[in-house]
């Protein structure tokens, strides 16, 4: 069914006059007559009776009008929605983030939502290596990851993260090297912290540091709780230490392999207006903040 024909039916029923309806539709009166005749032939019902006072709905026309109005209204809503989707102001985007973007990613999303409140966003905590795969499969549209990515993805560096040592504040003050020889090093399992663990291993190797023992956990919150309890110490990204409670002391580290770049990555081979608007929002934020 041609929506144009239904709209002509609805407008003519509203105006009750071919001349007025044709002007409202920006078409000629003969063109309107042809549209109504075509619709009547398709539904096999006479919709109007013409007289001296214009066009009056027939009984069949009165019965069909409410459904025609509903379809026309739905088509208008659809076109409005389609326009907003094409402009990237409505829809959904999936975003991944990791330890080093624990604070950065939600802040970028909050900034974006101020300008695009109609966009639904999901934020999933994932290691970088998992995000790379999901980005290529289009299960994520943007990932806050270590950059540059090891796979064919576009990326934008945002911040530099660094390793710090986290120790219990109730213990005597010691240099980082001494902490590592006297207390177990608390680390994430590789399934959760593969990139961080590699960074820690490079730091330890490059600086000739040897740890007394290692204990593995599943999440940062557990590591923090175990450090507070005096079970061990941890080497963590400085970006997550803003949530550290006062029972912890943060010790800066020096030497080789203590820093890495964090940014966003995406698959530019896939078209996505909402994703592109989100990236543009982040670029604008960098410009305002005076970042890279």
pLDDT over 80 at 135, yes or no: yes
Six-digit token string for 287: 């410009």
Q: Which of these, 209, 214, 238, lies nearest to 226 by C-alpha position?
A: 214
- Residue written as token pair 């000739």: 208
Q: What is the pLDDT of residues 8-42, one digit of tens each?
A: 999 999 999 999 999 999 999 999 999 999 999 99
Q: What is the mean pLDDT of residues 62-66?
A: 96
Give the CA angle between residues 246, 249, 264 to the nearest 5°.
90
**Contact indicator for 79, 126 with CB cutoff of 8 Å:** no
Q: Which of these, 93, 100, 109, 10, lies nearest to 55 by C-alpha position?
A: 10
Q: What is the pLDDT of residues 97-121, one digit of tens each?
A: 998 898 899 999 999 999 999 999 9
Q: What's the half-sphere exposure (Cβ side, CA atoms, 13 Å) at 243?
A: 15
Q: What is the mean pLDDT of residues 122-135?
A: 94
pLDDT given for residue 89 in this prediction: 82
Residues in the chain: 292
pLDDT given for residue 291 in this prediction: 46
Q: What is the pLDDT of residues 190-236, one digit of tens each?
A: 988 999 999 999 999 999 888 878 899 988 889 999 999 999 999 99
pLDDT given for residue 120 in this prediction: 93
Please confirm whether the linkage preceding 148 is cis (ω < 30° from 0): yes
Q: What is the pLDDT of residues 40-58, one digit of tens each?
A: 999 999 999 987 768 999 9
């Amino acid at each position: 069914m041609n929506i144009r024909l239904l709209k002509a039916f609805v407008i003519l029923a509203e105006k009750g006059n071919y001349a007025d309806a044709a002007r409202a539709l920006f078409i000629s009166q003969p063109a309107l007559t042809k549209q109504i005749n075509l619709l009547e032939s398709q539904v096999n019902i006479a919709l109007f009776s013409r007289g001296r006072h214009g066009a009056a709905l027939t009984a069949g026309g009165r019965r069909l009008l409410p459904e025609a109005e509903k379809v026309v209204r739905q088509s208008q809503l659809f076109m409005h929605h389609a326009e907003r989707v094409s402009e990237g102001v409505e829809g959904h985007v999936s975003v991944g983030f990791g330890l080093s973007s624990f604070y950065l990613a939600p802040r970028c999303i909050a900034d974006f939502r101020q300008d695009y409140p109609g966009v639904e966003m999901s934020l999933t905590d994932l290691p970088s290596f998992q995000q790379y795969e999901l980005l290529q499969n289009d299960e994520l549209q943007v990932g806050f990851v270590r950059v540059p990515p090891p796979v064919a993805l576009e990326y934008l560096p945002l911040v530099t993260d660094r390793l710090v040592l986290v120790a219990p504040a109730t213990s005597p003050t010691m240099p980082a090297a001494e902490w590592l020889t006297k207390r177990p090093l608390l680390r994430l399992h590789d399934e959760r912290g593969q990139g961080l663990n590699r960074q820690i291993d490079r730091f330890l190797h490059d600086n000739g540091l040897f740890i007394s023992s290692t204990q593995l956990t599943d999440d940062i919150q557990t590591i923090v709780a175990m450090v507070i309890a005096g079970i061990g110490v941890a080497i963590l990204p400085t970006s997550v230490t803003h949530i550290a409670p006062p029972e912890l002391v943060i010790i800066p580290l020096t030497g080789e392999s203590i820093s890495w770049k964090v940014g966003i990555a995406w698959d530019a081979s896939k078209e996505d207006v909402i994703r592109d608007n989100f990236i543009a929002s982040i670029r604008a934020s960098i410009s305002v903040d005076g970042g890279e």
